[in-house]
Chains A and B, each alone.
Chain A
Amino acid sequence: MGDEHDLDPAVVARVRSDLAELGSDAASAPDVPDGVTSRVVAALRAEPAHTVRRQPLGRLQLFALVVGVGAVVAAVVVGASMAAREPAPTFPAGPTAEQITVARPATTIPLPQPQILALLSQGPDYGPLADPAQRNSCLDRLGYRGTAVLGARPLTMAGKDGVLMLLPGDAPELVVAVVVDSNCSGAHPPLLARTVVTRT
């Protein structure tokens, strides 16, 4: 039995391409025997549901929590030392640890990189940020005043409505992908996620 090295490369390429397509062609998948589905569903229902207490902190969330707690501790130390030197001053309400931890944007965007890069060749869909003035104000807050948007689409992230926008990176082959809150108002930090992808 020969191997593929003596095969027409075009034939090998076609076989591999058809297999890859089958791997993502869910619409053509056949029906599942009822017994299989019901068996899996029964097993899933027997599992305990996740609770907020049981959710383990991701590495990023843990780091952000440490930073937040450290900031609170530092504020307490500074405040105590100042109080020791002068009559009790009045401090404005500072950020809580929770506000500090949630302000740090995620670095993973719930969209495969090929789909992110595909936006570069499509017309931008700004969704809730269709208004140029609002969009430019949002970009200004992010530090991208006057930067051309290379691609965009609405995206839901962790249950929040947002907009994914692609911006030029520090090098020609780099693209910055940011997900901003759909309001992008001044009341909340607008940045939900930020990552850098490399053009292929």
Chain B
Amino acid sequence: MGTVGGTSEAPQRTDAELLAAHVAGERYAFEELFRRHHRQLYRLAQLTSRNPDDAADALQDAMLSAHRTAPAFRYDAAVSSWLYRIVVNACLDKLRRNRIRPTTTLLEDTCHAGDPTPRVDTAIVIERALMRLPVEQRAAVVAVDMQGYSVVETARMLGVAEGTVKSRCSRARRKLAETLNYFAMADGGTAPSSSPSNPP
């Protein structure tokens, strides 16, 4: 999926090689890089956006920005990390600019996490739990805990006070712990039934 040109026997180029090829003028190298990472990039966009339309807009803006600014990349981090950061930046910027819009409603309980049994993909469970959070809390905890931004950086990107970011992260972590039944697991007891607790 996603490879443009070349044969199936050709060794796959690294991310750094694709980016260097793109900077050198190779026509479809960046597209190949995007296709290689587009699932994780879209996941991050969804997790830090109000809705799927905003996520798609931010993803496109981010990829165009990366396409244009690639010559300035200094290879001081993994190329994938750089792309993830650009996407999250674009989403947080969109949230900051659209702060006057009403807070998005929580997802309906049809998407609740349920009990994380061994058969359930842990990643999907956590992702669903995240999507139950209000977007402001979700964006803060994705920026700080998933992407490693500092509270100061996150506050600047969201256009809010540092204390606001801290409280959003705290509330998000608490709700995630409740949804994922981490309290019951920490106590060593059995997980409660799958019916969700009252949403906050």
Q: Which residues does chain B contribute within 8 Å of A173, judged by CB atoms? A: none
Check if B40 is an interface residue, CB within 8 A of chain A.
yes
Report whether B174 and A3 are in contact in the complex, using a CB–CB cutoff of 8 Å.
yes
Check if B8 is an interface residue, CB within 8 A of chain A.
no
A2-B174, A110-B75 are known contacts. Are A50 and B146 too (CB-CB below 8 A)? no
Report whether B142 and A26 are in contact in the complex, using a CB–CB cutoff of 8 Å.
no
Residue of A44, A50, A109 near B25 (CB, 8 A) is A50
Among B81, B142, B177, chain A packs the most CB atoms within 10 A around the CB of: B177
Check if A10 is an interface residue, CB within 8 A of chain B.
yes
Check if A88 is an interface residue, CB within 8 A of chain B.
no
Report whether B171 and A3 are in contact in the complex, using a CB–CB cutoff of 8 Å.
yes
Check if B68 is an interface residue, CB within 8 A of chain A.
yes
Residue of B37, B145, B176 near A26 (CB, 8 A) is B37
Check if B148 is an interface residue, CB within 8 A of chain A.
yes
Among B64, B84, B169, B182, chain A packs the most CB atoms within 10 A around the CB of: B182
Contacts from A to B (Cβ < 8 Å):
1-5, 7-8, 10-12, 14-16, 18-20, 22-23, 25-26, 28-33, 35-37, 39-41, 43-45, 47, 49-52, 54-56, 58, 108-112, 156-159
Report whether A108 and B75 are in contact in the complex, using a CB–CB cutoff of 8 Å.
yes
Q: Which residues does chain B contribute within 8 Å of A4, judged by CB atoms? A: 169-170, 173-174
Check if B74 is an interface residue, CB within 8 A of chain A.
yes
Report whether A11 and B183 are in contact in the complex, using a CB–CB cutoff of 8 Å.
yes
How many chain B residues have a CB neighbour from A under 8 Å? 68
Closest to B71 in A: A55
Q: How far is the CB of B126 from chain A (nearest CB, A)?
A: 5
Check if B20 is an interface residue, CB within 8 A of chain A.
yes
Closest to A57 in B: B71
Q: Which residues does chain A contribute within 8 Å of B21, judged by CB atoms? A: 159
Q: Is the interface of B mostly helix, strand, loop or mixed?
A: helix
- How far does the alpha carbon of A37 sit from the alpha carbon of B34 in the complex, in Å? 9
Q: Which residues does chain A contribute within 8 Å of B123, judged by CB atoms? A: 22, 25, 28
Closest to B33 in A: A44
Residue of A32, A39, A45, A111 near B39 (CB, 8 A) is A32
**Given A7-B177, A14-B182, A44-B31, 9 more pairs with CB closer than 8 A:** A8-B186, A18-B180, A22-B123, A22-B146, A28-B123, A30-B124, A32-B42, A33-B52, A112-B81
Closest to A56 in B: B71
Q: Which residues does chain A contribute within 8 Å of B27, judged by CB atoms? A: 49
Q: How far is the CB of A43 from chain B (nearest CB, A)?
A: 5
- How far does the alpha carbon of A23 sit from the alpha carbon of B16 in the complex, in Å? 20
List residues 13-55 of chain B with CB under 8 A from any CB of chain A: 14, 16-17, 20-27, 30-31, 34-35, 37-40, 42-44, 52
Q: Which residues does chain B contribute within 8 Å of A12, judged by CB atoms? A: 173, 177
Report whether A50 and B39 are in contact in the complex, using a CB–CB cutoff of 8 Å.
no
Report whether A16 and B25 are in contact in the complex, using a CB–CB cutoff of 8 Å.
no
Q: How far is the CB of A50 from chain B (nearest CB, A)?
A: 5
Q: How far is the CB of B192 from chain A (nearest CB, A)?
A: 15
Report whether B186 and A11 are in contact in the complex, using a CB–CB cutoff of 8 Å.
yes
Chosen A-B contacts, 30 in total, with CB atoms closer than 8 Å, are A5-B170, A7-B174, A7-B177, A11-B183, A11-B186, A12-B177, A19-B130, A19-B141, A22-B126, A23-B84, A26-B39, A29-B39, A40-B56, A43-B60, A44-B67, A49-B26, A50-B25, A54-B71, A58-B72, A108-B76, A110-B75, A111-B78, A112-B77, A112-B78, A112-B81, A156-B14, A156-B16, A156-B17, A158-B20, A159-B17
